[in-house]
Amino acid sequence: DGYLAGSPYFGATVGRYCNRIAGGTFSLDGKEYALATNNDSNHLHGGDVGYDKVVWDARPIRRRNEVGVRFQYTSKDGEEGYPGTVRVTAIYTLTNNNELKVEFLARSDASTPLNLTNHCYWNLAGAGSGTILDHQLQVESDKYLAVDDTLIPTGKMLDVQGSPLDFTIPHAIGERLKAIPEIEGLPQGYDHCFVLRRDKGGMALAARVSDPSSGRTMEIFTTQPGLQLYSGNFLDGAEGNGGHQQYEAFCLETQHYPDSPNQPGFPSTILHPGKKYHHITVHAFSAR
């Protein structure tokens, strides 16, 4: 019960819309929709009962070079305020090439915003090893989304150069963390969406992170345009694997941009009837 009630999305599939939607409202086809507001006045990670809190149908996958689980869920029209009934499939696969593959597919019977991600927390040194502040991170991005004091995008894409968000070459996550401007009432740290460098379509490298103590490295490849870096700022000993304190794990969430339904300059996140939502993210692991 504690894990379900208090877990900060540990390992969860997040939707119908991951990250934030300003004011919990958006307009679509001339109609305004009111969503659950569970992050002060904003909508976060699908609302009060997002995809992380529902029961999915689970079926095993066994192939020659991989094993996994296929999860399916039907999100009904009106759920958390969203229009349309959405049939969602999430496939998690472990391969013999030391990869974790996450694949999302969905179809809707009405136009609706859709933005799915996996909310894994990582510490490449292992649980109980301390913080991730020494992990070396490189992100394939030259720009990030500026946000206001409630972490809602302003619509501006700012250059990372010369800022604490410049991970164009490897830096320790903790090296410049305290240089991030503080927001009153929020713990200091990274909670920012990067605009990934990518050609149209296809899979591309998004980030590489390594732990100097263990020699483990994780590379992330994705079809998504954005990557949210979260440095575990709000972790406070939450239940799960012995508890995790602030900065003891990080997230790299592949996704479309936050608040896109209210940002005309961002790529559309509207799934229309007859169209298929399909994104893949691969985590590739190695060790020296």
Contact 220, 102 (CB under 8 A): no
Q: How far is CA 207 from CA 51, 61, 62, 162, 222, in A?
A: 25, 28, 29, 19, 9
Place of tokens 């915003």: 113
> Is 119 a residue of the active site?
yes
The DSSP element (H or E) to which 85 belongs, if any, is none
Residue 142: exposure state from Cβ atoms within 10 A (0-12, 13-18, ≥19): middle
Length of the chain: 288
Rounded CA-CA distance 201/198 in Å is 8
Q: Which residues of 195-214 are buried (b: 16+ CB within 10 A; e: fewer)?
A: bbebeeeeebbbbbbbbeee
Task: Single out the catalytic residue among 244, 248, 253, 256.
Answer: 253
Rounded CA-CA distance 14/141 in Å is 23
> Is 239 a residue of the active site?
no
Task: Single out the catalytic residue among 43, 45, 119, 135.
Answer: 119
Q: In what order do the strands lie in the sheet with 191-196?
A: 153-159, 141-147, 191-196, 226-230, 251-255
Sign of CA dihedral 228, 161, 259, 264: negative
Q: Report, as residue numbers or ranges, the catalytic residues.
A: 119, 253
